[in-house]
Amino acid sequence: MDETENIHGYKSRVLKIRVVKKWRFVGFDDSFKGSKACIFGCVTCDNQVEGFMYEEIEVDGFDVTEKIVSLVLKSKFRNQLKCIFLAGLTFAGFNVADIVEIYNRTSIPVVVIMRREPKIEEFISAARKLEKGEERLKIIERAGKVEKIGTLYVQLAGINLKMAEEYIELSKLKGKVPEALRIAHLAASAVIHGESKGKA
């Protein structure tokens, strides 16, 4: 409490209220079976779920980048999001997310999170066997090098490694990955398979 003097000369006490920052994150994960595929986005604040985003995507297609950008830009949470977490670089097979484009169009940092170190040579070989394989590889190359935070492997756009580590720590509740990714995985797999399977 601080004492202040009003225009009449009387002293009064002013209560200073400390404003606590609210950190909001969105995590995107996918699920697919046959030709049916979707991405789910989960928005969290203080590790509590605040909302969801949903879109269908093509298996081995080229639309996941546009779908993620569109979902984020039209979201009511858009101006409050500190980071976009992605559960890997590829969705629904080899539908590759262009994290540089996502960052450039949303102005929100992007962090790709993987539990295991990607086998790049196998990845490249598989991509080349698909239609427009070289185009897919260019998107992968733009994502930059794979770095490590704790036991996780990450790729970054619009953010440095130190800040990415801070955001991951702030966003965790259960396990090693951000809560937004964990919930997004459970929701996406339930839509496609009828119940939640595996883990993000």
Q: Give the tens place of pLDDT for each residue, 146-171.
A: 999 999 999 999 999 999 999 999 99
Enter the DSSP assignment of 77: T
Give the pLDDT confidence of 165-188 residue by residue, as tens digits: 999 999 998 889 999 999 999 999
The span from the CA of 159 to the CA of 162, in Å, is 8
**Which three-class secondary structure state does DSSP give residue 195?**
coil
Question: What is the DSSP-derived secondary structure letter of residue 78?
Answer: G
d(CA 62, CA 64): 6
State the CB neighbour count (10 A cutoff) for residue 70.
14
| 122 burial level (CB within 10 Å; 0-12, 13-18, 19+) | exposed
> pTM to 2 decimals?
0.86
Which pLDDT tens digit goes with each residue over 10-62?
555 555 544 455 789 999 999 999 999 999 999 999 889 999 999 999 999 99
Report the distance separating Cα 82 and Cα 95, nearest Å.
Answer: 25
Q: What is the reported pLDDT for 13?
A: 57
For 22-193, the fitting CATH number among 3.50.50.60, 3.30.2170.10, 3.90.320.10, 3.30.1490.20 is 3.30.2170.10
Domain boundaries, the chain: 22-193
* Per-residue model confidence (pLDDT) at position 128: 85
Place of tokens 């040579």: 121
Give the residue among 33, 20, 27, 12 at the shortest CA–CA distance from 190: 33
Query: What does pLDDT average to over the chain?
Result: 88
Judging by beta carbons within 10 Å of its beta carbon (0-12, 13-18, 19+), is residue 178 exposed, middle or buried?
buried
SS3 content of the chain, % helix, strand, coil (to 5): 35, 30, 35
